[in-house]
Amino acid sequence: MIKVLSVFGTRPEGIKMAPVVRELNKYPEFFQAKVAVTAQHREMLDQVLDLFGIKPDYDLNLMRHGQTLYDITSGALLGLKEILEQEKPDLVLVHGDTTTTFVAALAAFYQQVKVGHVEAGLRTGNKYAPFPEEMNRKMAGSLADYHFAPTKTAKENLLRENVPANSIVVTGNTVIDALFHTVGKPYQFSGYLADRVNWSKRILLVTCHRRENWGEPMKGIFQAVKEIKVRRPDMEVIFPVHKNPLVRKLAHDILGEIPGIHLIEPLDYHPFAHLMAKSYLVLTDSGGMQEEAPSLGKPVLVLRDTTERPEAMEAGTVKLVGTDREKILHETLRLIDDSQYYRNMAHAVNPYGDGKAAGRIVRFIMRLFDIDHGNEENYRYE
């Protein structure tokens, strides 16, 4: 029996690890699948756990309002030490690039437990963008023994860092597994969204939370959103505002109380996936949404100067627009007004996966532990 401990802490890690946890649970004869959450996020993580029916074996309940990187790093490291000592897993799985990711990989390394990194190999090459995620994923990658790269580009990034080729497998991104699973289940909007949003108008979906955008860049973004609504009153703006208090204050200061701009609480993933599908256009600095929106055929303007996800840009459905008010305004109005330009961007592509990534990850783990000797084709996405 192989004991696999999956560790995660934030909303996106929860969404992207849920398919892996569910897949491990399909094979109780091989795996003892345990889950530890740091709860670096609380409400935003809990809705994901509920949606996917995951009951963590351990919950460090770390989140504090206005927490610093030091708080999460030290709290998670000490909390995970005890869990690892108690469970002694054969393998720890971490996901992506949050502080939980890096710390969980470090905690496992300190006890010489093998680490598998899901969504490995994303890079911008800029230490401070995204901050602190670029270093989190590099450090997690250095500590990891096995690398589940979502795309070929991610694998090439790892090879350039001299990661051994036989420790890397291209699997597709598990976010597509989660998205297909969720968007495939019908959802009827109720409450505020059903009553207050004018669905006959085109929907501009906005999200924004990145640390390197805090302050002036975010101000520029929100001013651009306000100006878009002034210039194109026939658009309806929906902005589920991240729980971070800094983000909320600025969003409410600049965009609060404007008719047709709906500042709402973060949505559960099920309604959110359906909202993405109903949107005309997405403005975001989110990583995950750059992966999801293309497969729904929605153009994405990325509110950042760099991206570790070049594949959708190359496919033409995602464009980097940065944080400058005028640039965001210009690019958004162009997509609203120029239907040919819109059509060129709004085509469904799946550069990030086919919805079968979790199966490939688990198959690779089976092979590692000599559970399965199936042929290579079954667990590679290349």
- The answer for 223, left when phi > 0, alpha when psi is -120 to 50, beta otherwise, is alpha
Q: Per CB under 6 A, does 12 bind ligand UD1?
A: yes
- The answer for 43, left when phi > 0, alpha when psi is -120 to 50, beta otherwise, is alpha
> Rounded CA gap, 23 and 11, in Å?
19
Is 209 a catalytic site residue? yes
- Using CB distances below 5 to 8 A depending on partner kind, what does residue 278 bind out of ligand UD1, ligand UDP, none? none
- Using CB distances below 5 to 8 A depending on partner kind, what does residue 292 bind out of ligand UD1, ligand UDP, none? ligand UDP
- Using CB distances below 5 to 8 A depending on partner kind, what does residue 53 bind out of ligand UD1, ligand UDP, none? none
> Rounded CA gap, 53 and 18, in Å?
9
- Using CB distances below 5 to 8 A depending on partner kind, what does residue 212 bind out of ligand UD1, ligand UDP, none? none
> Rounded CA gap, 98 and 210, in Å?
12
Tell me the C-alpha to C-alpha distance, in Å, between residue 359 and each of 151, 235, 317, 354: 15, 40, 27, 11
- Using CB distances below 5 to 8 A depending on partner kind, what does residue 41 bind out of ligand UDP, ligand UD1, none? ligand UD1
User: CB 183 → ligand UD1: shortest distance, Å?
Assistant: 20
Q: Per CB under 6 A, does 44 bind ligand UD1?
A: yes
User: CB 69 → ligand UD1: shortest distance, Å?
Assistant: 6
| Residue 7: closest CA among 87, 70, 65 | 87
Point out which residues bind ligand UDP (CB under 6 A): 11-12, 15, 175, 207, 209, 240, 266-267, 269, 272, 286-289, 292
Q: Per CB under 6 A, does 40 bind ligand UD1?
A: yes
Among residues 13, 97, 134, 236, which one is catalytic? 97
Q: Per CB under 6 A, does 10 bind ligand UD1?
A: yes
Residue 319: strand pairing partners? 301
Among residues 147, 242, 274, 325, which one is catalytic? 242
What are the strands, taking DSSP E only, across the chain?
Answer: 2-8, 31-37, 58-59, 91-95, 114-118, 146-149, 168-170, 202-207, 235-240, 261-264, 281-284, 300-302, 318-320
Is 133 a catalytic site residue? yes
Q: Per CB under 6 A, does 123 bind ligand UD1?
A: no
Residue 245: count of CB within 10 angstroms of its CB:
10
User: CB 15 → ligand UDP: shortest distance, Å?
Assistant: 5
Is 242 a catalytic site residue? yes
Q: Which two tokens stand for residue 192?
A: 């505020």
**Cα three-residue angle 265-271-274, rounded to 5 degrees:** 130
Residue among 117, 138, 181, 209 that touches ligand UD1 (CB under 6 A): 209
Is 370 a catalytic site residue? no
271-330: contacts with ligand UD1 (CB under 6 A): none
Q: Per CB under 6 A, does 376 bind ligand UD1?
A: no
Q: Per CB under 6 A, does 207 bind ligand UD1?
A: no
Residue 260: count of CB within 10 angstroms of its CB:
18
Residue among 1, 29, 66, 112 that touches ligand UD1 (CB under 6 A): 66
Residue among 25, 27, 30, 42 that touches ligand UD1 (CB under 6 A): 42
| Residue 51: closest CA among 288, 354, 243, 273 | 273
Question: Of 19 and 287, which has the nearer Cβ to ligand UD1?
Answer: 287
Cβ 42 vs Cβ 49: under 8 Å: no
Q: What is the CA radius of gyration of the chain?
A: 20
Element (H, E) at 137: helix 133-143
Residue among 213, 244, 290, 317 that touches ligand UD1 (CB under 6 A): 244
| Phi, psi (rounded to 5 degrees) for 8 | -155, 175
What residues are labeled active site?
97, 119, 133, 209, 211, 242
* Residues making contact with ligand UD1 (CB under 6 A): 10-12, 40-44, 63-67, 69, 72, 97-99, 132-133, 209, 243-245
